[in-house]
C-alpha cells in the first residue's frame, strides 16, 4: 500500500466531506447505543441547537474565541511557523484585559488594546527565539502555554483575588465600561463581529499585501525566501504579532464578553481546538470563520446531549472527538489516494 498525491477538485471535496459526515454520524450512533441512548433522539437535539434563536446565539458566543484564535493560526501555519501556543496567548490576552479593566481605568478600547498586546508579546518570545537562536518554535510555544495558565492561577488565587468573593479564586467583576456590549436584542457580544472582521482582514493580508506574499514564500521554502531578498526575521516577527495578538483578543472575548472577570480556567482548550479548525479550513481565513462557527455548534450540541440524556462528560467528549477525527481524515483523503 502506498499514498499517491492527487489534485483536489470541488466535486471530490464535496463527496469526501459528505462521506466523512455520514461516517462520523454512524460512529456517533454506535457510541450512543453503547451508553443506552437512542441515536435518533440524540441527533434530534441538533434542531434545538441549530434551528432556534437561543441555540444560534449560544453558538456565536462559543465560536467567537475559536474564530479569532484559528484565524491567527492560519497566518502562522502559512509561513510554516508551528505556533502551538494559542492557548497560552489566549490566557495572556485575558491577563491584559484584566489589567486594563481592574487597574488601568477600565475603558473598553484599552481592554482590547492590552489584550492584543499581551497576546502578541507572548507570541514574540518564541518568534525571537526561532529567528535569532534557531530554537524550535513547536516546543517553546507549547511550553509557554503552561506558564501562562499558571500565571493566571497565581493571580486569581493570590494578589488579584476578590476580597468579597468568599474565598473563591476569582477577581473582582469588571466595571461596565470594560465589558463587551451585546448586539441589540441578543446575547451575542461584540466579539463575534470582531471575529468576523478579523477573518476578512487576515484574508486581505494573505492575498493582497506584501507581507502575505512573503509569508507564502517563507512557508514554501525559507532558503528560497532568503535568496529572493526577503527579510525572513522581520516577516516572521510581524506575523507573530498579528497571529498571537488575535489569540489575545480571543481571551478578551471570553473574560470581557462572557465571564466579566478572571478565573483559574478561562479556556476549555480553545487554543488547541483552533489548531484543528485552521487545518480543516485549509488555512483559509474566510473559511475558518465558517468552520469555527460549526465547531462552536458542535460544542453547544455536546452540552445539549449531556443535559438531555444525563450523559457523562467523557461520552460527550468522545463523540466530539469522533467528529473531529473524521473531519481531519476527510481533508487528508482529498489530497491523497491509496494505491495497492
Q: Which H/E stretch holds residue 61?
A: helix 53-78
Distance CA 28, CA 299 (A): 15
Distance CA 274, CA 86 (A): 8
Q: Which domain holds residue 154?
A: 61-285
Q: Is 87 exposed, middle or buried (0-12, 13-18, 19+ CB in 10 A)?
A: buried
At 315 the pLDDT is 86
Give a yes or no: residue 68 inside a domain.
yes
> Kind of pairing, strands 336-339 and 2-5?
antiparallel
Evaluate if residue 331 carries a pLDDT over 90.
no
At 336 the pLDDT is 82
Give a yes or no: residue 79 inside a domain.
yes
C-alpha 24 chain-centroid distance: 22
At 10 the pLDDT is 75
Distance CA 39, CA 28 (A): 8
At 332 the pLDDT is 79
At 202 the pLDDT is 95
At 233 the pLDDT is 93
At 279 the pLDDT is 86
Q: What is the mean pLDDT of residues 282-306?
A: 91
Give a yes or no: residue 164 inside a domain.
yes
Give a yes or no: residue 165 inside a domain.
yes
Evaluate if residue 218 carries a pLDDT over 80.
yes
Give a yes or no: residue 312 inside a domain.
no
Phi-psi region of 37 (alpha: psi -120 to 50; beta: other; left: phi over 0): beta
How does pLDDT run across 75-122, given as a tens digit for each residue?
999 999 999 999 999 999 999 999 999 999 889 999 999 999 999 999
Q: What is the mean pLDDT of residues 305-310?
A: 88
Predicted TM-score (pTM) of the model is 0.92
At 94 the pLDDT is 97
Evaluate if residue 316 carries a pLDDT over 90.
no
3-class SS of residue 151: helix
Give a yes or no: residue 174 inside a domain.
yes
Which set of grid coordinates corresponds to residue 177?
Answer: 465600561
Residues 170/156, Cβ–Cβ less than 8 Å? yes
Give a yes or no: residue 53 inside a domain.
no
How does pLDDT run across 128-161, given as a tens digit for each residue?
999 999 999 999 999 999 999 999 999 999 999 9
As for how many domains the chain has, the answer is 1
Vertex 60: Cα angle to 59 and 66 (nearest 5): 90
Give a yes or no: residue 206 inside a domain.
yes
Amino acid at each position: 500500500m502506498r499514498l499517491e498525491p492527487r489534485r483536489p477538485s470541488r466535486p471530490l471535496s464535496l463527496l469526501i466531506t459528505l462521506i466523512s459526515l455520514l461516517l462520523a454520524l454512524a460512529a456517533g450512533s454506535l457510541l450512543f447505543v453503547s451508553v443506552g441512548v437512542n441515536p435518533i433522539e440524540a441527533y434530534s437535539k441538533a434542531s434545538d441547537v441549530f434551528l432556534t434563536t437561543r441555540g444560534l446565539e449560544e453558538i456565536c458566543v462559543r465560536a467567537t474565541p475559536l474564530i479569532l484564535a484559528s484565524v491567527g493560526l492560519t497566518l502562522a501555519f502559512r509561513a510554516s511557523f508551528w505556533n502551538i501556543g494559542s492557548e497560552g496567548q489566549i490566557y495572556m490576552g485575558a491577563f491584559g484585559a484584566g489589567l486594563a479593566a481592574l487597574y488601568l481605568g477600565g475603558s473598553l478600547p484599552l481592554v482590547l488594546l492590552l489584550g492584543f498586546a499581551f497576546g502578541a508579546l507572548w507570541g514574540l518570545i518564541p518568534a525571537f527565539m526561532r529567528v535569532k537562536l534557531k530554537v524550535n518554535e513547536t516546543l517553546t510555544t507549547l511550553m509557554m502555554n503552561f506558564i501562562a495558565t499558571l500565571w493566571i492561577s497565581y493571580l486569581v488565587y493570590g494578589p488579584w483575588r476578590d476580597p468579597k468573593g468568599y474565598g473563591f479564586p476569582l477577581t473582582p467583576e469588571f466595571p461596565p465600561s470594560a465589558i463587551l456590549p451585546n448586539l441589540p436584542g441578543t446575547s451575542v457580544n461584540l466579539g463575534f463581529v470582531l471575529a468576523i472582521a478579523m477573518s476578512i482582514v487576515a484574508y486581505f493580508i494573505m492575498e493582497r499585501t506584501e507581507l502575505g506574499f512573503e509569508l507564502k514564500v517563507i512557508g514554501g521554502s525559507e532558503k528560497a525566501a532568503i535568496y529572493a531578498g526577503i527579510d525572513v526575521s522581520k516577516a516572521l516577527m510581524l506575523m507573530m504579532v498579528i497571529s498571537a495578538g488575535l489569540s489575545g483578543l480571543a481571551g478578551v472575548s471570553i473574560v470581557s464578553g462572557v465571564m466579566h472577570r478572571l478565573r483559574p480556567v478561562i479556556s476549555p482548550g480553545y487554543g488547541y481546538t483552533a489548531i484543528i479548525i485552521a487545518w480543516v479550513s485549509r488555512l483559509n481565513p474566510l473559511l475558518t470563520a465558517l468552520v469555527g462557527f460549526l465547531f462552536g455548534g458542535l460544542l453547544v450540541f455536546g452540552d445539549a446531549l449531556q443535559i438531555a440524556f444525563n450523559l457523562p462528560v467523557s461520552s460527550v467528549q468522545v463523540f466530539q472527538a469522533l467528529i473531529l477525527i473524521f473531519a481531519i481524515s476527510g481533508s487528508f483523503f482529498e489530497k491523497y489516494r491509496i494505491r495497492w
